[in-house]
A = this chain, B = another copy of it.
């Protein structure tokens, strides 16, 4: 029997729309995988999902991910999968990605690690496709590998350095935004100068990580492709952003497709302070929220 923890992840990160993500320490999912006698891959237990997740293996991200991995390996044995969701759904924190990542990591460990973490990526993505409908690695890869990751494609990953003492503050407002709505609000085409600014920001964002230059990082983390359109869907975006900046955040933006919002902050106490200011900006408009403060998680998913 093996249990894996797979962390939540913050994707997009403004200038890295659709290609960039980072892992945080908490929240995350715990997935347990154990051999069974019946030679079938099945979901035997789901906790913490308020009854929302399907038990049918072929409809469950964890189930599909393990099926895909076992098929690739020619593995005929069966396993029981237990899912303990410890993070909110539809929050923009890569919930379905975490379940898929935890499942393949635990299953791979149960088989004595035939594959490396990087080799597990396609199977975790196979699982997430069931939930998200699209083949995207920008939550899967950071949850699995940790750190800041540039996902050129599922087979072409660039791991980036993490500045010292960098914390990620995440506030999850208790509102629902459908991913489809967040997608449909994006334009099909963008003006040339916006595309150029986005690429300049992505280039200097990467340079800022290598040079540990927080001022350059702050200037670079501006999004021209998605945030200008999506921010109208977020609760009190401008107010929460001002609060984060007032608290000393290096950068602020939408986590994934929202509604969670993130700030990058240097130092733990400031990161907590920024989070409390962000929550206060929401509560002043009667919006409840949950706060997560953690160091950027450089390890990624792990066996417990």
A interface residues, Cβ below 8 angstroms from B: 15-20, 150-152, 156, 158, 160, 186-192, 194-196, 198-207, 210, 216, 219, 225
Contact = CB atoms under 8 A, between A and B. Distances in A.
A22 to B, nearest CB: 14
Contacts of A189: 189-192
Given A189-B190, A192-B187, A158 B199 contact: no
A174 B26 CA distance: 61
12 contacts: A16-B199, A17-B196, A19-B200, A150-B204, A152-B200, A152-B219, A187-B192, A190-B195, A203-B206, A204-B206, A206-B207, A210-B210
A17 B197 CA distance: 10
A124 to B, nearest CB: 20
Q: How many copies does the complex hold?
A: 2
Contacts of A216: 158
A199 B17 contact: yes
A239 to B, nearest CB: 28
Contact of A203 (B150, B187, B194): B150
A207 B160 contact: yes
Nearest to A194: B195
A172 to B, nearest CB: 26
Contacts of A190: 189-190, 192, 195
A55 B196 CA distance: 36
Contacts of A20: 203
